[in-house]
Amino acid sequence: MTSILQLKAQNAKQDSTYKKWYVGSSLFMFGNFSKINNPEYVQLNVGYRITPKNVISLEFKRSIYTWPIGIPFGPSFDAPGLNYPGHARILAPTLGYQRFWWKGVYTSVYALNAFEKYMDENKKKIGNGYTLYLNFHLGYQFTFFKNRFFFEPAIGCSYWPVRTNVPESFTLVETKWPTYFIQPGLHVGYNF
């Protein structure tokens, strides 16, 4: 009897339902229901399994953020007076590599190329910039319904070694925060 929940990464030798391609997204898109600081977040992932343990992916992300990107979760995250004097909108094509190590345990690295448009408090454009984010994840893949669907909770760290053309008013707010961010990952997807 096949279990609905498979606690292993896909393995072609053990699993006749092995699929090479997937499409997915992130559960963070539920943040779009927020009435405060709605991120207008969109994410689409397309991946290809080179082997059962090695995956490459292309992701497209779009969002708005109004706070310094290094500000940690906690009381400061959305505290009054710590946000930008406006917001930034990003369009970010992303390349990724994921490696499965044991059962569903995986690590991954993503290079997120964020093309940013900066807007002041009056929604007037004040500049364009670019940020290269390097994201590292450690997670576990749960598969469901004969490996058709998956859920990947993870812990990740984002680091941005390249950040250009940030308006001075935004830079002044960012200087007190680190150039990395610890965050959860919540990818979901469909294998085909």
- What are the sequence ranges of the domains in the chain? 5-191
User: Is the distance from CB of 192 to CB of 22 less than 8 angstroms?
Assistant: yes
For the chain, how many helices (H) and strands (E)? Answer: 1, 10
**In angstroms, how far is CA 31 from the centroid of its own chain?**
13
Residue 65: closest CA among 111, 154, 129, 109: 129
Phi-psi region of 123 (alpha: psi -120 to 50; beta: other; left: phi over 0): left
Residue 115: closest CA among 125, 126, 104, 130: 130
5-191: CATH topology is: Porin (2.40.160)
Task: Walk along the chain (192 residues) and give the pLDDT tens digit of each residue.
Answer: 444 444 445 554 545 456 799 999 998 888 888 877 778 899 999 999 999 999 999 999 999 988 888 888 777 776 777 888 999 999 999 999 999 999 999 999 999 999 999 999 999 999 999 999 999 999 999 999 988 999 999 999 999 999 999 999 999 988 889 999 999 999 999 999
Count, residues in the chain: 192
Question: For position 93, what pLDDT does the model report?
Answer: 97
Percent helix, strand and coil across the chain, each rounded to 5?
Answer: 5, 55, 35
Question: For position 32, what pLDDT does the model report?
Answer: 82
pTM, two decimal places? 0.82
Q: Give residue 110's identity as a one-letter amino acid code.
A: Y
Alpha carbons 94 and 25: distance in angstroms, whole number: 13
